[in-house]
Structure 1
Amino acid sequence: DRKDRIDNLKKAFTGRMSFIVPGPGSNQITKYLYIPQINSSSVSSDLFDKVAEIVYSTERITKKTEQALIRNVLSAFLSIILLFLIAYAISRYVTRPVYQIIEDIEIIANGNYDHPIRRTKGFEFRRLETSIQKMVGRLKKDIISIKQRTDELHQELVNRQYAEQSLRAANHKLSLLGTITRHDLLNQISVVSSGFDLLEEDIPKNEQHNRIMSMIRDALNSIHDLILFTRIYEQMGVDKPVWHHMTRLIDEIMKNFSEQKCSVDDTTNGLEIYADPMFDRVLYNLIENSFRHGGTVTRIAFHVITENGIAVLTYSDNGRGIPGEDKEKIFARGYGTNTGLGLFLIREILSLTGIEIREIGKEGEGACFEIRIPEGKWRLHDASMESNGN
């Protein structure tokens, strides 16, 4: 007898339903099965609705379930261990050659270029090994070539330093020789000039004697100018180029021509030129040539424009100008009515820093010299001029 049996029977019968409840013993369940009547013309007990009570034991099912769970857990655990071992073996198979190659590369990186890359398994690793071996071989050749070139450059540097020292010593000797020679020549010229002055007083004055005396006097002056020119020419290129501010330089040079009634039109707008320290001789000789050869010069002008990175500085005057056939000759040494060294010296000084000069004026309208200054050898402080290109 069970306390809840009557209630469960009534529940199944009245509700015409089947259901399961736990019990009555451990590892048991009870099923109440509703069985409806069977329609029949015969009189039988089967004509009544019935409820069957069936008790099942769950012990075997529980044991089977527990056994299955244990088997599944063990299988899962063994599978995990097996997968881990397989993964470890695969990773070792894959990474060991990589570590081996890394070790070989580190040995090579430490300077042992003859160390070979050890052979590994796998097609891809053999390709990698071959590629690295080729790279190391090429690197070794390049290092040997660089070392040889370094040794050659070192030897060349030593030779160049020795040559520079020898050149400095030779320049010093030449400079000293030139200084002594110029000093002695100037002394001798002074003696000759003094003697010539005394002799000139005792020679009878006539046309022929005057012409000869004038020739000798001009020759002495030319020799004197040539000696002074050698001193100037010797100084060219000795010192490093410096920046020259045009406006300040023009103002300073014009003080030497204060007796000239001449106006100066300066529109260089803060132009600075990177040139030999003797660049002031360029402007001085240009201005002197205007007053010496230009006739009545009352105006000189300095103007600058920029084009394609080049600064074009023009110097012009309102003198008589230069004939077309003489535009290039005037830069030759010895050309002209005086020593002929002024414009030759100008071109030589400018060429030291890659600056070009030419004469572009028209005869009768004044001289005009165009000075082309390459990029990097000029600069402007007037921003408005740079933006306008003038």
Structure 2
Amino acid sequence: MTAAGGRRLRGFSTHLVLVMILITLPTIGLISALDYRQVEENLIAEENRLWEQTERSVIQSLCLMDAGLNLFDCTLDGQMQEAFVPVLAEYRRAGGDPEEMDLAGIKEHLGEGMDVYVINESGVIEYTTYQPDMGLDFRHMPDFYDRITEIRLGDTFTADRIVAEPASGRLRKYAYMPSPDHRYLFELGLVCSSVETNRFDPKYLALKDDLVPLNPALKEIRIFDCYGRLVNATESESPADPAAVDLVARAVYEEKQSRTLADPAAGRIIRYILVDISAAGSPSDVSRVVELTYSTAPLDARLTQMLLTHILLALSAGLVACCIAVPVSRQITRPVQDIVDDVDTIARGDLDHPIRISAGAEFIRLEESIGAMVDSLKESIRRLRASKETARDYSTRLEDLVRERTVDLEESNRAANLFLDIMVHDINNANTIAIGYTRFLVDALEGERREMAEKMLSRLEQSSAITRCVATFRQAVESESTLTRVDLDRVIRSEIANHPAARIRYEGQPFAVLADDLLSEVFANLIGNAVKFGDPAVEIAVRVEDHGEDILVSVEDTGPGIPDEMKQRLFTRFGGGENEMSGLGLGLYICRMLITRYGGWIRAEDRVEGHPEEGAAVRFSLRKVWEG
């Protein structure tokens, strides 16, 4: 279907399909997005639960390993306490000077698996049979230093836990005994035999092998001691550097708070967990910090797979919805299309074409409404035709009547113009003769009779002025001449010459303006009013100023001035009023009409601003004609 402007319009069926698709597709997309979000949350929660289970298993395993090691640990306490007897005897023999002690002899007496350490008051191993620990300063381990200082100042034997050496990874049992003078602390270190080590050493490798199958995301397990040093977990690993400290593991131990480090670029998450297996009374803290490295790749793969599955399902559902929307929309719009076809037939002029009845209450009501509209249209057409005939007859009679009235009006206008021409001509001739005789009487009479003659002369002159204004007004109304170039200087000088007795000062320049022959009437009225309403000594000034596109003309006098309340209505028809200024109305109205016709403006002002009693000023503008 094409609109009147040539724009192709979509059918209602197409719009309905689009609406159904626009509703269905976002709904399917929203449902898919919400379902994916739920699946995503479930997978992440499942992954977190698996991590929690893995961490609980690690903690339980380390606690069980430590419990088994502690059972073996206690069996060595008596042996360690007896071993201090020769150490104390040698200290007494050396006179309390560790430098004089035969530590090598003591080691030989105690056996190759036993080493002797002498720790001074500063917490430094000053003498030992195990050279790698010579000079070891325990002040770098504040908690351990405080504990051994407390033992040195006491009087009792203290057994320590079996710990792994950072350098070699061997298990060693330590015990402490203060010197009698409390200046030194003796330490014995018993290296566990290989049989004992194999039997009681924590099997961290087995721990990793047991947990990885249960959690595929677990990639690495590392164990750190309380100082952040990596514990050699298996024989396959090389000995750890005692000076190498994992700062994160150390911080986890000190803060007693687990940490999680994410590395999205590498696709891994590292968890640090503190396993507190410290024993009260033991100088060494055998607590462990476990580092678990998880890979996010399995979870990401599952999320990606679920996302693709949801996208495919959403696309499939959208395609099915589009396929269903087309036949459904056609079924819904078929009755509407039938009605449109019937209405088109009626619109082509077949008003008797019936509207097909469809199923559905709404369509039945629509069809009944269209039928009623067609019946009303038939009646309206019948009435319109009747009205058209009536209007045609009335129009014919009206044209004849207008034609007759126009002829009468033109005849009346011609008669009125004839009477006006006769009246103006004859009255003006009579006034001219009467004025001449009256002036002769004014010169011939004296006293009261002369005053009466002067009044009569004034009235006759006023009558002559009115007649002239009427003639000018008629000429201005009926004039159809176009505006032309007029010499403003010549017009002003010519009008000043008509008042030889008046004191007129002209300040002008030779400008040409856009006007016609009636421009002189403007100056005749303005100068005439200034002479008429001023005393014999009145002074009149005519100024012409250049204002670019316009010429500003001012006619000023030193007469009685114009009250402020009269300035606004002075240029309206009969706006002069009935006071001593009466008579200004018609002449100034003609001035405004002419100036407006010339494209300018006119207004009355005080000659001296704010002092109306010092004279009046009438200013108006005219459009300048450029020479060239």
Where on the TM-score scale, by shorter chain, does this alignment land: which range?
A: 0.3 to 0.5
What is the TM-score of this pair, normalised by structure 2? 0.32
Structure scoring higher RCO (CA < 8 A, sep ≥ 6) equals 1
What is the TM-score of this pair, normalised by structure 1? 0.47
Q: Which has the larger radius of gyration?
A: 2
